[in-house]
Amino acid sequence: MTKEDAEMFDFIQGQKVISKKPHPCGNSEWTVSRVGADIKLTCAACGRTVMMPRSKVEKFVKKAAE
């Protein structure tokens, strides 16, 4: 309910993340390419991008990649 609760991750542009479910191309690694009201992720393998609200990204992402 609070702002803090909604922000499990602090997404940073250029950060690499691992998704829970792989992209249809088989890759699970994404680069955060834009951070705003919506967050844009670029697939590291095929280069396709997806935009989704932060709340959805938090469910989509499993962890930050090193």
Binding residues for Zn ion (CB under 5 A): 23, 25, 27, 43, 45-46
Closest C-alpha to 46, from 62, 61, 64, 27? 27
Residue placing its CB nearer to Zn ion in the complex, 29 or 58? 29
The span from the CA of 48 to the CA of 30, in Å, is: 10
Residue placing its CB nearer to Zn ion in the complex, 34 or 48? 48
Single-letter amino acid, residue 4: E
CB 23 to Zn ion: min, Å: 3
CB 50 to Zn ion: min, Å: 9
CB 41 to Zn ion: min, Å: 10
